[in-house]
Structure 1
Amino acid sequence: MTDIADHGVRFGRIAAMLPVRDMARAEAFYTNVLGFRKVFENGDPVGFMIMKRDAGEVHLTLQPTHKAPAFNVAHLMVDDVDALHALCQEHGLRIIKRLQDKDYGLRAFVFEDPDGNRIDVGQPI
């Protein structure tokens, strides 16, 4: 059996798709708190949006009955985890796992966005 690499298939970007109950609230959070910018939206009312910041990209999909799972749905690598942690605290976001140095080489924490989506944030030690 061959794997996909043997067939010359090269993968491009992959982005987390986050369900949100209120698109305007989610856009405001990702724009005003985390500094993303909207690069695409679709639907009337808007049901899908692409947000970008630096090399990071997140896709938001409107799901009015969304119930957040009790596991991390995205992992975000940053160059200053302490600053992002402080920003999350400043905005009153729920911190699921406290900021700490992990034995696998990351300084990390987990927070919830306004829709309860858990985002694991890390920085190499």
Structure 2
Amino acid sequence: MSNLENLRKQAKLYLRWHRERYFPVAAQIRWFLARFRDLPHREVLDTDFKLSEAQELVARKHGFESWPALIKGIETMTESTASSAGAPLIIAAEPQLFVSDIKISCRFFVNELGFKVGFSYGKPPFCAQVIRDGGRLNLRKVSGPVFDSSFRARERDALSATLTLDDIKPLFLEFQNAGVSFHQPLKTEPWGVRTFIVKDPDGNLICFAGGAL
């Protein structure tokens, strides 16, 4: 967790992005704040967005119900933890997948893998984000095939993204029951992690990994 001053800066940054109509922030506002969830992205940017709402957004991204709850959580941290809290903190990673058709890719992730579309931008769309729980994948349209045949022949198992879980088997069974085609079924790697791999319509390999047996 970042320290309080950094968290306040994060909230002010979200507020500024909203005022500047930075499109991706609308997706995060809709995802974390329920009262915005049914609004289209452009209406989110048109609606008044207060600092208190930006602070709530930061709190929810850190796993707290509200800004006061986040503050209380910081106050109850141990002294040793607090002493290291001033260092910059990477909160999450959002891998970018290159795809040939945003609509087809979104349909795959939603219908096959149970994701939701966080946002889709452009007419026709050239970028999007798909979300499932804490996992976020950014999709970026490119012209032509994403991978040439010689690359996949040489690098059959080259991954585009890895998503981690606390318990991987239930998700594997969910995908299996839904008829998802696996590039690699569930297995235990030599280093102890359990993984399975799914291939998207463009040949991107997405690895799901978890340690629970």
TM-score (norm 2): 0.49
Seen in structure 2, the aligned counterparts of structure 1 residues 121 and 84 have a Cα distance that, compared at 3 Å, is farther
Is 1:86 aligned to 2:176, yes or no? yes
Structure 2 gap ranges (5+): 1-83
Matched, 1:73 2:73: no
Tell me what 1:15 maps to. 94
**Deviation of the 1:12 alpha carbon:** 3.0
2:114 pairs with 1:35:
yes
Question: TM-score if structure 1 supplies the norm length?
Answer: 0.79
Match of 2:57 in 1: none
Matched, 1:46 2:136: no
Counterpart contact for 2:168–2:194, Cα < 8 Å: no
Cα separation, 2, equivalents of 1:84 and 1:35 = 9
Q: Higher strand fraction: Structure 1 or Structure 2? A: 1
Aligned twin of 2:14: none
Shift of 1:40: 1.6
Match of 2:195 in 1: 108
Q: 1:54 to 1:18 in 2, by over 3 A?
A: same
Offset of residue 123 of structure 1: 1.8
* Length, aligned pairs only: 117
Aligned-partner Cα distance in 2 for 1:10–1:123: 23
**1:67 positional shift:** 2.5
1:64-109 CA distance string (max 9 Å, x none)? 3133353101112233333155157x13x351x3421122121212
Query: Residue 84 and residue 107 in structure 1: after superposition, are their counterparts in 2 closer, same or farther (change >3 A)?
Result: farther
User: Where do 5+ consecutive residues of structure 1 fail to align?
Assistant: none
1:122 alignment partner in structure 2: 209
For the pair 1:57 / 2:136, whether they are aligned, the reply is yes
The amino acid across from 2:162 in the alignment is H
Query: Using the alignment, how far apart are the partners of 1:85 and 1:31 within structure 2?
Result: 12
Q: Deviating runs (4+, > 3 A) in structure 1?
A: none
Q: Which amino acid aligns with 2:95?
A: A
Residue identity in the other structure for 2:138 = H
What's the secondary structure of 1:83's corresponding residue? helix
Q: CA RMSD in A?
A: 2.3
**The residue matched to 1:72 in structure 2 has which SS?**
coil
Q: Which has the higher helix share?
A: 2
